[in-house]
A and B are shown apart, each in its own frame.
Chain A
Amino acid sequence: MGPVRAAIVTASDRAALPRRLPWTLIVFLILATVPWLGSRYNVFLAEQIIIDALFAVSLNLLLGTTGLVSFGHVAYFGVGAYVCGILMKTYGVPFTLAFPAAGLGTAAFALISGYFCVRLIKLYFAMLTLAFSQIVWAICYKWNDVTGGDQGLPEIPYPHLDWMSAVPGLTDLSIGDRFYLLSLVLIAVSLAVLHRIVRSPFGRVLTAIRDNPERAGFIGVNVRAYQLAAFVVAGAFAGLAGALYGIFSRGVFADYVFWSKSAEVMIMTILGGMGYFWGPPVGAAALVWLNQEITDYTEYWSFVLGAILLLLLFAFPGGIVGGIDTLWTRLRNTRRA
């Protein structure tokens, strides 16, 4: 079993808290005000956080919900970034077409690669996802004509956001701020969709598969088909996150697809708490913020990251959200008693 599943059972069976606040809406509104209340740096940080949040939640659909450990998730992030970037930069396709194309293109790639991956058991699944991810990296690194090769694709254009001038209050915003608001809306919608998926009957079958694939098979579930579907959905949303990231970073480079980035997003997911839907976004926020603060003072960020990881594994397997949850439950129980 493991602590992860126990945590999920507790969370969904939770009785009402004394104060029901729509926290997600509150956070969304706070994030939406950053271009006005915060500096350019705050927008930069916030954008990085929300993009990584979507990326991490997409991974968690595989990791936390379906129990599939993928080491190659960054491949889908990268494919999305390249598809959107190439369409917009090389072919001048507008964002409104390029963005969904990135999602669809990544979904197609996820379908093909996923078909081979889900046929394998745990360890081999992880190795094959890693192999596919490195193949994508090698292609991006070498295919100079299409992907820019080792030089990458700098200067991805911003989408046309002049229409925002017509909206009252948005007229004075810079293009970077406008893109941030657009990303925020797109990511919020994506997260809402993913949330629906996880809570739906489909999502429940996935958790059943995670808990015991054989039993799920016995009751008539086509385990492979469901796993493949999860793979495709997770890949598609990772691709959307990648598309936004390519525009945000003003360029797409082959090293975005290197396997160490897969490890980073996995750490984010677990840091936040993979047993909770909102765990990965918390982990993303924590890690991005920590990284920015610490790299100003020391070059040894890897050491810090490794130490955090070890601390998580040995002391806080439920992640930040898991830790807070446990704390909150204990407080409630002591108050009752």
Chain B
Amino acid sequence: MQAYWTLARRELGGYFLSLTGYVIIAAALFLMGNCFVVVLAKLQYYPTSTPVTELFFNTEFFWLILLPTTPLITMRLFAQEKFSGTFETLMTSPVKDLEVVLAKFTAALMFYAVMWLPLLGCLLVVRHYTHDASALDAGVVASTFLGILLLGAMFVGLGCFASALTRNQAVAAMISLVFGVSLFLLAYLADRFAAGAHWQAQVLACFTLFDQMSDFARGVVDTRAVVLYASLALFSLFLTLRVVESRRWK
């Protein structure tokens, strides 16, 4: 347990000791700000009763932030250590493989959560200027952030796996981008073709990420989505653990 916290702290600290962390946060902040301008401009001409949070997820900005940032966050996790050789000093310390994988995942997820915090600021600004308490409901904000975190856990988990596969950070980023974009395309397909009653359509319907995120943003916590995100995240962590252990089989 001590090793887990020590490692997680070091990993999280690592983002802020290099420029990468700040650049990622700045870029995400820039896109988030843009997104809000778009949402507010829309609101000006077409007033609706839809929550602001949901409007946010109906712009492409959310995916524009999510898809490229998660590979950037996760690419360094294992690849950098393997490249610099510190992976050897790490794995010859008395730490368990599982602790290493979980610590790295936790740190990446925490950084991801920190990256999204400015969104809260944007929402507060809206609430401040609308002078309307109903414009921003605490429950809705909580479920929105839960959605962001769970979806993020899935993408970060896949990124972890990608990073464990290689010692080259750029390659790790590309692999996890491929994973991310595949999920995105799957969601796109599901959005258009999941109407049928046969089993393929029903499986596809599980991956309607856009609808699921809109649900979260409306304050609806759908267990199907929660289970999907959590199980995919766990599965990718399991694969990561196998890859880390694999040096003992060679």
**Do A and B associate with each other?**
no
**B interface vs A, CB < 8 Å?**
none
**A interface vs B, CB < 8 Å?**
none
